[in-house]
Amino acid sequence: MQAVVYARALRPLLFLLPPDTAHELAFMALGPVEHIGWVRACFRALAGTRHAPNGRIATRVMGLDFPSVVGLAGGFDKNARRPRALAALGFGHLELGTVTARSQAANPRPNLFRLRADRALVNRLGFPNEGAEQLAARLRDVRREGRAPVGVPIGVSIGKSRVVPVDDLAAVVADYVAAFDAVHGVADFVVVNVSSPNTAGLRTMQARDHALALLSALRARASKGERLLVKIAPDLTDAQLEDVLSVVDEVGLDGVVATNTTIARVGLATSAAEVEAIGAGGLSGPPLRQRSVDIVRRVRARLGRRVAVIGVGGIEEAEHALALVRAGADLVQMYTGFVYGGPLSAARIGRDLGRLVEQAGAANIGDLVGSLDGAGLPRGFEQEDTKTRRI
């Protein structure tokens, strides 16, 4: 019911506004949920944040307990302004950021676009944030003893400051290290973002020599037990993917986030003229879905069970989340589906996912990780994706 109300009443109004304006209004609306305990409790009740029958979608990954496998992807809450509110909406974990060592503004506007026919977004924001130190201070305050807990694991994504030249590897490494030093003490895990298409040259950091220098330096800075992951692009060739995964294995990272947004513009329902007018940027949402499943499957096959795999890309329904899990993802994340599906979409997907796990005959969703069968659905379950809910 909440999804219908959002789709028929609220979303059309929000979509009359520029995307960045709508995003800021949503953050304002979440203010009372963040700061007032009884309002937060009401949203938890609406979301039903235990999500699924018998805790079937709760899991333990990297030594952390996740009440749901469905988390929020990096990029939505760049400065840790609304962690308690977002957790109350039903997300099982949050990836905050991406933040950089130095504060920086967004790339020039317009920098965020909706592809409504594809239920997709294109962004070229370029890591706008208040700086890693400011995010860390805010999270430290949120987690201060006596405060209401967030209640879910929190990851922080770090990236390269725009002013640091990408061809100066030593400077790039030092910049990432500064961001890591600022946030690692307040994060349950840190994600190294080397795959955004919106910072010039950043994706070159996925090349083997560059990745080895960067990730080795960060691994050396991490204390024992601190969890370090890397976020990779969906546009890597087979050889490039093998290069970066070989570094993950060699350095001993704790996980891989697959994937970031894509620079590809293939198979879109949006007209070519509209896509061309939008120009450069990272595309997210359903057009990325199958590529993300494929990358997750390859990451799991290459690295085995030693590392955590977080699947991201095009999740709008429980079936999409399950496809990533069966391809090998321990956890999944959504962003664009949250924008199109509404504030309680993570909770709805969690509830539906619990039912799919039950239908698959599994006691827990962790039993299905890496058990891809066809479209990633339980045997005997009819896929709805061709007629998936488009309310």
Name every residue whose Cβ is closer than 8 Å to that of residue 347 and which is 6 or more positions away in sequence: 46, 47, 48, 49, 51, 89, 90
Cα gap 290→287, rounded to integer Å: 8
Tokens 């499943």 correspond to 293
Beta partners for residue 115, in sequence order: 120
Distances (CA, A) of 62 to 4, 30, 48, 68: 36, 30, 25, 14
Q: Answer for the pair 257, 227: CB distance below 8 angstroms, yes or no.
A: no
Region class of 354: left (phi > 0), else alpha (psi between -120 and 50), else beta: alpha
Does an H or E element contain 191, and which?
Answer: strand 189-193
Beta partners for residue 258, in sequence order: 232, 311
Instruction: State the Cα angle at 89 between 86 and 93, rounded to 5°.
Output: 55
Tokens 């956890």 correspond to 331
Cα gap 322→319, rounded to integer Å: 5
Is position 216 annotated as part of the catalytic site?
no
Catalytic site residue from 196, 284, 292, 345: 196
Cα gap 321→388, rounded to integer Å: 13
List the catalytic residues: 196
